[in-house]
């Protein structure tokens, strides 16, 4: 990754348009708790501001999680490698914490995080220092767990829709397939692509 590093930074609010992630009721509360945490533990955390250019990969899938990033300006895509294929799972806008899933799971990043649609500004936070600071803020931990749980719930709904679409395509149930693909298309652009592929597979089936 290329970019310039500074010694401090501030969090600003920006609009969000991601329908899969970004409109959760828990997110605003988490943002406010993160702001308070950074102010209260400024000395221990010593966040460094990262100025990244469009196309920069901030975190790479499979790498150990040593630093978490707080996106304060700009937009970041979440790219998943699967064999030789690369899929964009979502795009996130400020204010969003990046890298926390791998940090609290197996210690490795589950995806690439790539800057899109212009430059981005982030705060780099040492993972272990942030964890120590969070021990003094139980409200932040609760808000983070609540947000992760909500995203898992939504992920389960997406999986159920994908399975329904596959079954509809296989059984040649056109009405059910159209309903499922419409729902998928309204969630996120990457799922809209999956819904179009389901329709294409259905059309290619012999009658």
How many structural domains does the chain have?
Answer: 2
Does residue 123 share a domain with residue 85? yes
Residue 192 counted as domain residue: yes
Contact 76, 91 (CB under 8 A): yes
pLDDT tops 90 at residue 7: no
Percent of the chain predicted with pLDDT > 70: 78
Residue 196 counted as domain residue: yes
Write out pLDDT tens, residues 166-199: 787 777 777 777 787 777 766 665 666 676 777 7
* Range among 12-21, 140-149, 184-193 with highest mean pLDDT value: 140-149
How far apart are the C-alpha atoms of 140 and 138, rounded to whole Å? 5
Q: What is the pTM of this model?
A: 0.68
How far apart are the C-alpha atoms of 169 and 171, rounded to whole Å? 6
What was the pLDDT predicted at 12?
A: 35
Does residue 126 share a domain with residue 24? yes
What was the pLDDT predicted at 186?
A: 65
Least reliable range by pLDDT among 27-36, 65-74, 82-91: 27-36
Which tops the pLDDT comparison, 147 or 116? 116
How far apart are the C-alpha atoms of 201 and 170, rounded to whole Å? 9
Kindly indicate the confidence band of residue 27, based on its pLDDT and cuts at 50, 70 and 90. Answer: low
Residue 27 counted as domain residue: yes
Contact 130, 47 (CB under 8 A): no
Residue 40 counted as domain residue: yes
Secondary structure (3-state) at 166: helix
Residue 66 counted as domain residue: yes
Residue 144 counted as domain residue: no
- Indicate the average pLDDT of the chain: 77
What was the pLDDT predicted at 24?
A: 62
Write out pLDDT tens, residues 41-66: 777 888 899 999 999 999 999 999 99
Residue 145 counted as domain residue: no
Residue 149 counted as domain residue: no
Mean pLDDT score, 121-131: 88
State which residues form the domain around 34: 3-136
């Amino acid at each position: 990754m290329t970019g310039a590093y500074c010694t401090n930074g501030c969090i600003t609010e920006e609009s969000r348009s991601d329908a899969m992630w970004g409109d959760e009721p828990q997110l605003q509360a988490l943002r406010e708790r993160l702001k308070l945490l950074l102010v209260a533990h400024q000395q221990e955390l010593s966040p460094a501001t990262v100025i990244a250019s469009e196309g920069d990969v901030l975190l790479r899938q499979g790498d150990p999680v040593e630093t978490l990033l707080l996106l304060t300006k700009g937009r970041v895509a979440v790219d998943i490698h699967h064999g030789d294929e690369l899929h964009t799972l979502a795009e996130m806008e400020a204010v969003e914490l990046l890298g926390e899933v791998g940090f609290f799971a197996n210690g490795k990043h589950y995806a690439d995080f790539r800057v899109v649609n212009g430059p981005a500004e982030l705060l780099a936070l040492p993972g272990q220092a942030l964890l120590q600071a969070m021990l003094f803020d139980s409200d932040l931990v609760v808000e983070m767990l609540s947000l992760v749980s909500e995203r898992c719930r939504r992920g389960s709904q997406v999986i159920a829709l994908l399975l329904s679409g596959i079954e509809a395509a296989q059984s040649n149930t056109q009405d059910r397939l159209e309903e499922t693909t419409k729902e998928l298309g309204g969630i996120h652009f990457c799922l809209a692509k999956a819904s179009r592929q389901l329709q294409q597979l259905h059309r290619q089936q012999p009658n």
